[in-house]
C-alpha cells in the first residue's frame, strides 16, 4: 500500500504538492490524473525518495522508501524510460539491476519474456524505439516481483497492440492483489483500465473515488428521452429545473435529472414515454469539468485569450 499523508513539496515560493492525503489500496488499478504541472511526477518521485517532502510523508507499506529492506521487492516503478545506459543491452541492463539489488538472475529472462523483448534482449538499449524503451522500463519495474507497481505515462510510444498489452498487464497485476498506481493523460485508457481515480490540480486533491462515481457525478451525464409529446414534456422538465436539448422530432436530451425524476415528471404530466435511457459522460468530459479551474498551462484559446500562467513544469525542475 502507498500512503500519502499531508504530503507537501515547495520549490521556493512555488507549492507543487499541497497537503495531499491518499491511501492507495491493493487489488486495484488507481489512475493518477491532473493537468501538466499539477504535481503528479513530483508526488511519484517523493514516494521513491527521489525528492524530499517539504512536509508530510510518502510511505510504502508504512515506511519511507529509504527505510525499506530490498526496496525493489516491495515497489517497482517506471518514471523515465530513457534512464538506461544506451551502450548496454537490455539483458545486461536488467542483470545490473538484479545484481545491485540482490535479485535472482533468473528474473531477467522472466521479465524479458513478460514484456515481449526476448528476441531483442541482446540489442543495445540506445537502438531501441520509444515503445521498446517503455517495455524495458516496465521490465525493470517488474524485476523484483513487487507487490506495488507505479507507472508514469507507461503507454507513451506504444503502438495499439502495445497499449492493449500494458492495459491487460496492469489489470492482471491488480487481479493478483497488487497495488497499481499509474499516471496518464490518455483518458480513454484510464476509463478502460482504472478502478479508482485520484485527481489533483495545482498540487491539491480534487477527487479520490471509484471511476464510476467520478463519471456519474459529472453534470454532463444526460438522459435520452423519446416521446410523442416532446413539447409538453420539455415544458414540464424546464419547470422542474432541468436542462433540455431538442434532438429531432421526438427526442430530448435532458441534463440535471435522474431517470426516476424524469419518469416521475412525465407520469405526473400524463406524457407517454417511448424511451428513457442514460447517456453517460465520458471520463474525458468528467475530468475536464473537474480540472477546469486547475489548468495552469493552458493555450490562449482555452482561456479567452489570456496568456499561459507563469510557472515551471514539474519535469523541468532540478
Lowest mean pLDDT segment, chosen from 77-81, 235-239, 243-247, 310-314: 310-314
Final residue of a structural domain among 162, 177, 210: 210
Q: Are residues 57 and 169 in the same domain?
A: yes
Share of residues in the chain with pLDDT > 70 (%): 92
The C-alpha cell that represents 195 in the structure block: 478502478
* Mean pLDDT for the chain overall: 89
Torsion of CA 237, 240, 245, 246, to 10 degrees: 20
* pLDDT at res. 10: 96
- In DSSP notation, 166-189 reads HHHHHHHHHHTT-EEEEE-S-HHH
* pLDDT at res. 300: 58
Q: Which of 153, 141, 148, 214 is nearest to 182 (CA)?
A: 153
Determine the Cα–Cα distance for residues 310 and 312; give it in Å rounded to an integer.
7
The C-alpha cell that represents 256 in the structure block: 440535471
**Across-strand partners of 153?**
none
Q: Are residues 156 and 103 in the same domain?
A: yes
Q: Are residues 197 and 229 in the same domain?
A: no
Q: Report if residue 318 sits inside a domain.
A: no
The tens digit of pLDDT for each residue in 164-184 reads 999 999 999 999 999 999 999
Is the model's pLDDT at 110 over the cut of 80?
Answer: yes
- 233 is in which domain, residue-wise? 222-279
Determine the Cα–Cα distance for residues 174 and 88; give it in Å rounded to an integer.
31
- For residues 25-41, give the mean pLDDT: 94
More confident residue, 252 or 221: 252
Q: Report if residue 284 sits inside a domain.
A: no
* pLDDT at res. 234: 95
Lowest mean pLDDT segment, chosen from 43-57, 85-99, 166-180, 279-293: 279-293
Q: Report if residue 307 sits inside a domain.
A: no
Which secondary-structure segment (H or E) carries 41?
helix 40-47
Q: How many domains does the chain contain in total?
A: 2
Final residue of a structural domain among 210, 243, 270: 210
Task: Read off the pLDDT band of 315 (50, 70, 90).
Answer: very low
- For residues 227-254, give the mean pLDDT: 93
Share of residues in the chain with pLDDT > 90 (%): 71
Q: What is the CATH number of the domain that holds 40?
A: 3.40.50.300
Q: Are residues 19 and 145 in the same domain?
A: yes
Determine the Cα–Cα distance for residues 7 and 194; give it in Å rounded to an integer.
23
Determine the Cα–Cα distance for residues 53 and 47; give it in Å rounded to an integer.
9
* pLDDT at res. 314: 44
* pLDDT at res. 164: 92
Q: Report if residue 241 sits inside a domain.
A: yes
Is the model's pLDDT at 152 over the cut of 50?
Answer: yes
List, as own/partner pairs, every contact residues 65-73 make where C-beta atoms lie below 8 angstroms and the sequence separation is at least 24, other chains included: 70/101, 70/102, 70/144, 71/101, 71/144, 72/97, 72/101, 72/103, 72/143, 72/144, 72/146, 73/103, 73/144, 73/145, 73/146
**Across-strand partners of 69?**
none
More confident residue, 284 or 226: 226
- For residues 51-69, give the mean pLDDT: 95
Is the model's pLDDT at 304 over the cut of 60?
Answer: no
Which residues lie below 8 Å from residue 304, measured CB to CB, with a gap of 6+? none
* pLDDT at res. 48: 96
Q: Are residues 63 and 156 in the same domain?
A: yes
Is the model's pLDDT at 186 over the cut of 90?
Answer: no
Determine the Cα–Cα distance for residues 197 and 139; give it in Å rounded to an integer.
25
Final residue of a structural domain among 180, 210, 240: 210
Task: Read off the pLDDT band of 299 (50, 70, 90).
Answer: low
- What phi-psi label fits residue 116: left (phi over 0), alpha (psi between -120 and 50 degrees) or beta? left
Specify the DSSP class assigned to residue 58: E
- For residues 6-32, give the mean pLDDT: 96
Which residues lie below 8 Å from residue 262, measured CB to CB, with a gap of 6+? 223, 225, 237, 242, 254, 276
Lowest mean pLDDT segment, chosen from 43-47, 155-159, 310-314: 310-314
Determine the Cα–Cα distance for residues 105 and 97; give it in Å rounded to an integer.
10
- For residues 262-275, give the mean pLDDT: 95
Pairing type for strands 28-33 and 196-201 reads parallel
Torsions phi, psi of 296, nearest 5? -90, -35
Task: Read off the pLDDT band of 100 (50, 70, 90).
Answer: very high
Task: Give the up-direction half-sphere exposure of residue 111: CA atoms within 13 A in the CB hemisphere.
Answer: 27
- For residues 221-240, give the mean pLDDT: 93
* pLDDT at res. 135: 94
- For residues 7-25, give the mean pLDDT: 95
Q: Report if residue 304 sits inside a domain.
A: no
Is the model's pLDDT at 221 over the cut of 50?
Answer: yes
Predicted structure pTM score: 0.77
Amino acid at each position: 500500500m502507498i500512503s500519502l499523508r499531508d504530503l507537501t513539496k515547495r520549490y521556493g515560493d512555488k507549492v507543487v504538492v499541497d497537503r495531499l492525503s491518499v491511501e492507495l489500496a491493493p487489488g486495484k488499478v488507481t489512475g493518477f490524473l491532473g493537468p501538466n504541472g499539477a504535481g503528479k511526477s513530483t508526488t511519484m518521485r517523493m514516494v521513491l525518495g527521489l525528492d524530499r517532502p517539504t512536509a508530510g510523508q510518502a510511505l510504502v507499506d508504512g515506511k519511507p522508501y529509504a527505510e525499506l529492506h530490498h526496496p525493489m521487492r516491495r515497489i517497482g516503478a517506471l518514471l523515465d524510460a530513457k534512464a538506461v545506459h544506451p551502450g548496454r543491452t537490455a539483458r545486461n541492463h536488467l542483470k545490473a539491476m538484479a545484481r545491485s539489488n540482490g535479485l535472482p538472475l533468473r528474473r531477467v529472462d522472466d521479465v524479458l519474456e513478460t514484456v515481449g523483448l526476448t528476441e531483442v534482449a541482446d540489442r543495445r538499449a540506445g537502438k531501441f524505439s520509444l515503445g521498446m524503451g517503455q517495455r524495458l522500463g516496465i521490465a525493470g519495474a517488474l524485476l523484483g516481483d513487487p507487490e506495488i507497481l507505479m507507472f508514469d505515462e507507461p503507454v507513451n510510444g506504444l503502438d495499439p497492440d502495445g497499449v492493449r498489452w500494458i492495459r491487460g498487464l496492469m489489470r492482471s497485476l491488480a487481479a493478483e492483489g497488487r497495488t497499481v498506481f499509474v499516471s496518464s493523460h490518455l483518458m480513454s485508457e484510464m476509463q478502460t483500465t482504472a478502478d479508482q481515480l485520484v485527481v489533483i490540480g495545482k498540487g491539491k486533491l480534487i477527487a479520490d473515488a471509484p471511476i464510476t462515481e467520478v463519471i456519474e457525478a459529472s453534470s454532463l451525464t444526460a438522459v435520452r428521452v423519446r416521446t410523442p409529446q416532446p413539447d409538453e414534456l420539455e415544458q414540464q422538465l424546464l419547470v422542474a429545473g432541468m436542462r433540455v436539448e431538442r434532438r429531432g422530432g421526438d427526442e430530448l436530451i435532458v441534463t440535471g435529472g435522474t431517470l426516476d425524476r424524469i419518469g416521475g415528471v412525465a407520469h405526473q404530466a400524463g406524457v407517454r414515454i417511448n424511451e428513457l435511457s442514460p447517456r453517460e459522460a465520458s471520463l474525458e468530459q468528467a475530468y475536464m469539468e473537474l480540472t477546469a479551474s486547475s489548468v495552469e498551462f493552458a493555450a490562449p484559446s482555452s482561456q479567452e485569450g489570456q496568456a499561459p500562467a507563469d510557472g515551471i513544469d514539474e519535469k523541468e525542475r532540478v
